[in-house]
Amino acid sequence: MKKFIFIILLFFISSVSYAEDIFITAEADKNEIFLDEQVALVITVTGNVSNIPQPSIPDLKGFTSYSSGRSQNISIINGQVSSSVSFTYMLVPNETGDFALGPFTIDYKGRTYSSDPIIIKVLPKGGSQSTPLPAQEPQEPDHGIDARQQGKELFIETYVDKLRAYVNEQITLTFAFYQSVDLFENPVYSAPSTTGFWTEDMPPQKKYYKVINGRRYLVTEIKTALFGTSHGEFTIGPARLEASVEDLERMFSRSPFGIFDNDPFSMFRRGKPIVLTTDPITVEIIPLPEENKPVNFKGDVGKLEVSVNVDKTAVEENQPVTLRMKISGKGNIKTISAPAIPEIADAKIYDSASSENISKSNYTVQGEKIFEKVIIPKRPGTFTIGPLEYNYFDVESKEYVNKRLSPITITATKSTEERVETRLPGFTKEEVEILKKDIAYIKTSPPRFRPKGAFLYRNKIFLSLNLALILILASLYAYELHRARVRTDMGYARSIRARGAASKRLKRAENLLRKELVKDFYAEIYKAVIEYIGDKLNIPHASITKDALEEKLIKRGVDKAVIDKVKDLFDVCDMARFASVKFTKEDMTRTLREAEYAVMGLERIRS
């Protein structure tokens, strides 16, 4: 009897131990990398449970991490569930040195399971020896591509056409993206910082093919014009590009039967994230020479021409004449200043307006800028404008150029209108003029009198019209601010468009529900919610993990109930896509409603 009880107890203990048998391991695809390379970190959790929790990722000092998705295998043998989940992260080094990553842990039913830490050594970028490149295509110049980039599927570079320039002289910065494979989605480009420069975008993007070391690349160039605002050494920061490619290597790197241990559709759906950065560039901006600098020089630099004309040369006194000064040519047109106009006795000069027309043909900033002045003669006679002088620094000849324009003569005749002058305390004779015809005007009908106190501002119609105009102006101003922010703030633009994109995906999911395409339906639901969250939080979709997502949503003030709904929704989608579990049409309908509820709940995320 005792032996029988012992056998039962032993069986019970072994079954409990078997039910909670969980293992976690971590491995890197390489343990020594250069600063411009990446390393894939794979954390694998196996156990006899149906729902393996997300591993806890500690602070990865020295690296920036991006989630590359997960693969899952669930098997049921004799009623016993066994799961194996691999979580993949791409690590981008930020500095050199030896780094210990981990241990990585998971918590399950009050117990903590951990993996051994892994050691990764990061070497400087200059660790590889450069080798000369073969001849490039004759139509495209060689910009000294680093030999370490040869053989890579994707790489980027930035370079300038000159490393030394005068203040306000154009420097052309080129960002080049080389790709020899198809991208999974459009890459995200982060322009370098250009502190100390006036910048001008230089569309359009240029695309061409280039052969490097026997491999054919599609090259995309983005150019920016830089104008140094002061002399000294300035650093153009690193550019950054986030891309995603199809991870075929991961799919076929194991045994022929290993493909069934992963979800092959998952890797095509998300792709393999790659983050690329360029080296910073130091540029020297030298001051303009002091020798032969004109006294009235205002800082204009380029290759410029100037012309002056007036709309008329004969006017009556106190009538305006419009003077137009046009400066055209190559240079930073937006910062060009107007030539000084000498004082004219017995005439008033007023600024009227300025306009500019900028062209960026051949990636050179050029165009014209027009300044308008209004000149009003205060007496009859002849008035001379000028001679006018305009000075600029010619970057080609490296000399100051003085443009001297011939004077313009204006003749003012006596006004044909008779007038009566009156003097008021505090006003000059010119400021107060009353024409006789104004005071001699005879009213042909008796005036209409209003009761005392019937002021216009008390009129309801008047007040309503003015209030409506104020509201219209305020609305137009707010709309213009919104449009400007959409153009310049990528995070705000993604947040604004997130709801519409999610609604479209949920609509497609509803169509898949009618066709009872279970896996496609749940895949579309997952995409709708994960991409919606990525757009609202302004983070790449591939970098969203369950733990990081919960932390970010809590910081944004999202209700705990909504967060739990989102996590449960992701679990259901993973189960439907990766496990052999049947889902009815009622289950799919309920999931669709829960997804709509989650999106509505997440709408309160602050942009």
> Are residues 154 and 274 both part of a single domain?
yes
Would you tell me the crossing angle of helices 560-578 and 546-555 to the nearest 10 degrees?
Answer: 160
Question: According to the model, what pLDDT value does residue 13 have?
Answer: 45
Question: According to the model, what pLDDT value does residue 192 have?
Answer: 92
Structure tokens at 590: 């309920």
* Interatomic CA distance for residues 364 and 358, integer angstroms: 10
How far is CA 578 from its chain centroid?
Answer: 35
Question: According to the model, what pLDDT value does residue 244 have?
Answer: 82
Q: Which of 50-54, 236-240, 315-319, 325-329 has the lowest mean pLDDT?
A: 50-54
> Are residues 306 and 282 both part of a single domain?
no
Whether 115 is in a domain gets the answer yes
DSSP for residue 58: -
Which CATH number fits the domain that encloses residue 598?
Answer: 1.20.120.330
Question: According to the model, what pLDDT value does residue 393 have?
Answer: 94
Over range 415-444, report the average pLDDT.
Answer: 53
Question: According to the model, what pLDDT value does residue 259 have?
Answer: 45
In terms of DSSP H, where are the helices of 183-332? Answer: 248-252, 264-270
pLDDT band at 80; cut points 50, 70, 90: low
Whether 537 is in a domain gets the answer yes
pLDDT tens digit string along 150-173? 557 889 999 999 999 999 999 999
* Interatomic CA distance for residues 223 and 205, integer angstroms: 7
Q: Is the pLDDT of residue 331 over 80?
A: yes
> Are residues 279 and 330 both part of a single domain?
no
Q: Is the pLDDT of residue 451 over 60?
A: yes
Question: According to the model, what pLDDT value does residue 418 have?
Answer: 55
Question: According to the model, what pLDDT value does residue 131 have?
Answer: 36
Phi/psi at 456 (5° precision): -65, -35
Q: Is the pLDDT of residue 530 over 50?
A: yes
> Are residues 270 and 340 both part of a single domain?
no
> Are residues 243 and 115 both part of a single domain?
no
Structural contact between residues 371 and 322, judged by C-beta atoms closer than 8 angstroms: no
Structural contact between residues 121 and 61, judged by C-beta atoms closer than 8 angstroms: no
pLDDT tens digit string along 473-522? 888 888 887 777 766 666 666 677 777 788 888 888 888 888 888 888 88
pLDDT tens digit string along 434-450? 444 444 456 666 666 66
Over range 350-372, report the average pLDDT.
Answer: 89
Give the end of a domain, one of 376, 396, 413: 413
Whether 419 is in a domain gets the answer no
Q: How far is CA 272 from CA 20, 190, 333, in A?
A: 33, 19, 44
Buried b (16+ CB within 10 A) or exposed e, 553-567: beeeebeeebbebbb
Question: According to the model, what pLDDT value does residue 137 have?
Answer: 40
Phi-psi region of 182 (alpha: psi -120 to 50; beta: other; left: phi over 0): beta
Q: How far is CA 262 from CA 131, 238, 527, 556, in A?
A: 40, 37, 19, 34
> Are residues 84 and 198 both part of a single domain?
no
DSSP for residue 169: -
> Are residues 63 and 156 both part of a single domain?
no
* Interatomic CA distance for residues 125 and 538, integer angstroms: 30
> Are residues 308 and 403 both part of a single domain?
yes
Which CATH number fits the domain that encloses residue 312?
Answer: 2.60.40
* Interatomic CA distance for residues 525 and 84, integer angstroms: 24
Residue with tokens 């005792």: 2
Give the end of a domain, one of 351, 384, 413: 413
> How far from each other are the two terminal CA atoms of the chain, in whole angstroms?
70
Question: According to the model, what pLDDT value does residue 452 have?
Answer: 61
Over range 273-286, report the average pLDDT.
Answer: 90
Whether 132 is in a domain gets the answer no
Q: Is the pLDDT of residue 376 over 80?
A: yes
Question: According to the model, what pLDDT value does residue 93 have?
Answer: 84
In terms of DSSP H, where are the helices of 271-399? Answer: none
Question: According to the model, what pLDDT value does residue 267 have?
Answer: 42
Q: Is the pLDDT of residue 250 over 60?
A: no
* Interatomic CA distance for residues 147 and 339, integer angstroms: 51
> Is 0.85 topped by the overall pTM?
no
Over range 537-554, report the average pLDDT.
Answer: 67
pLDDT band at 69; cut points 50, 70, 90: low
Question: According to the model, what pLDDT value does residue 392 have?
Answer: 93
Whether 446 is in a domain gets the answer no
pLDDT band at 44; cut points 50, 70, 90: confident
Over range 362-380, report the average pLDDT.
Answer: 91
* Interatomic CA distance for residues 360 and 298, integer angstroms: 24
Structure tokens at 19: 């039910």
pLDDT band at 571; cut points 50, 70, 90: confident
Question: According to the model, what pLDDT value does residue 222 have?
Answer: 93
* Interatomic CA distance for residues 330 and 336, integer angstroms: 11
* Interatomic CA distance for residues 234 and 228, integer angstroms: 9
> Are residues 241 and 274 both part of a single domain?
yes
Q: Is the pLDDT of residue 4 over 70?
A: no
* Interatomic CA distance for residues 173 and 165, integer angstroms: 13
Which CATH number fits the domain that encloses residue 9?
Answer: 2.60.40.10
Question: According to the model, what pLDDT value does residue 526 have?
Answer: 81
Q: How far is CA 391 from CA 263, 296, 330, 396, in A?
A: 69, 7, 14, 15
Q: Which domain holds residue 195?
A: 145-286
In angstroms and rounded to an integer, the radius of gyration of the C-alpha atoms of the chain is: 36
- Among 320, 299, 325, CA closest to 386: 325
pLDDT band at 574; cut points 50, 70, 90: confident
* Interatomic CA distance for residues 501 and 494, integer angstroms: 10
pLDDT tens digit string along 193-224? 999 999 999 888 888 888 888 889 999 999 99
Give the end of a domain, one of 97, 126, 155: 126
> Are residues 278 and 317 both part of a single domain?
no
* Vertex 492 angle, CA 489 and 494, to 5°: 110
Number of domain units in the chain: 4
Highest average pLDDT, of 132-146, 154-168, 435-449, 456-470, comes from 154-168
**CB within 8 Å of 423: residues ≥ 6 apart:** 429, 432
Question: According to the model, what pLDDT value does residue 435 have?
Answer: 45
* Vertex 110 angle, CA 105 and 113, to 5°: 25
* Interatomic CA distance for residues 223 and 206, integer angstroms: 9
DSSP for residue 345: T
Over range 167-194, report the average pLDDT.
Answer: 90
Residue-averaged pLDDT of the chain: 77
> Are residues 108 and 155 both part of a single domain?
no
Q: How far is CA 144 from CA 164, 287, 432, in A?
A: 18, 29, 72
Whether 440 is in a domain gets the answer no
pLDDT band at 547; cut points 50, 70, 90: low
Over range 343-372, report the average pLDDT.
Answer: 88
* Interatomic CA distance for residues 365 and 336, integer angstroms: 12
Tell me the percentage of the chain whose pLDDT exceeds 90: 19
Buried b (16+ CB within 10 A) or exposed e, 438-468: eeeeeeeeeeeeeeeeeeeeeeeeeeeeeee
Q: Is the pLDDT of residue 132 over 50?
A: no
Over range 545-551, report the average pLDDT.
Answer: 66
**CB within 8 Å of 316: residues ≥ 6 apart:** 412, 413, 414, 415, 416
pLDDT band at 338; cut points 50, 70, 90: confident
Question: According to the model, what pLDDT value does residue 370 have?
Answer: 92
> Are residues 11 and 117 both part of a single domain?
yes
Residue with tokens 């004082």: 343
Q: Is the pLDDT of residue 263 over 80?
A: no
Give the H or E element holding residue 566: helix 560-578
Report cis status (omega within 30 of 0) of the bond before 204: yes
Higher pLDDT, 605 or 144: 605
Question: According to the model, what pLDDT value does residue 271 have?
Answer: 64
Concatenated DSSP letters of 381-428: EEEEE--EEEEEEETTTTEEEEEEEPPEEEEEEPPSS-EEE---TT--
